[in-house]
Chain A
Amino acid sequence: MIPTPDLSHLRKADYERIYEPAEDTFILLDALEQDAESLRASAPRVCLEIGSGSGCVSTFLGALLGSSGALYLCTDINPHAARCTRLTGSQNKISLDPLIGSLAAPLRHRLTRAVDVLIFNPPYVPTEEDEAAGAQVDAGITGAWAGGARGMLVTDALLEQVETLLSPHGRFYLVAVRQNDIPAIEARMRDRHGLDSAVVLQRRAGGEHLFILRIARRPPV
Chain B
Amino acid sequence: MVRLITHNLLACHAKGCTTNNFPLQIKDAQLALREAEFNPDFLRGFIPRIEWAALVSAARQLGDESLPNEVPEMIDDDFLRGLHHVLLEIHIDEGAMVCPNCGHVYPISSGIPNMLLAEHEIG
- A residues at B contact (CB < 8 Å): 43, 45-46, 66-71, 73, 75, 77, 79, 82-83, 86, 95, 97-102, 105-111, 114, 137, 139
Contact = CB atoms under 8 A, between A and B. Distances in A.
A43 B1 CA distance: 23
Nearest to B108: A99
A79 B111 CA distance: 12
Given A77-B116, A83-B110, A100-B114, A107 B10 contact: yes
Given A97-B3, A106-B11, A114-B49, A79 B114 contact: yes
A107 B9 contact: yes
Q: Is the contact region of chain B dominated by helix, strand, or loop, or is it mixed?
A: loop
Contacts, number: 91
Interface in B3-50: 3, 5-6, 8-13, 21-22, 36-39, 41-42, 45-46, 49
Interface residues of B, number: 34
A148 B51 CA distance: 39
Nearest to A105: B13
B5 A97 contact: yes
A102 B46 contact: no
Contacts of A108: 11, 13
B115 interface: yes
B8 A69 contact: no
Nearest to A109: B11
Contacts of A77: 116
Interface of B: 1-3, 5-6, 8-13, 21-22, 36-39, 41-42, 45-46, 49, 51, 106, 110-117, 119, 122
Contact of A110 (B36, B41, B51, B117): B51
17 contacts: A45-B42, A46-B49, A71-B46, A82-B112, A86-B1, A86-B111, A97-B5, A97-B6, A100-B114, A100-B115, A101-B113, A102-B116, A102-B117, A105-B13, A109-B11, A109-B22, A137-B119
A157 to B, nearest CB: 11
B112 A99 contact: yes
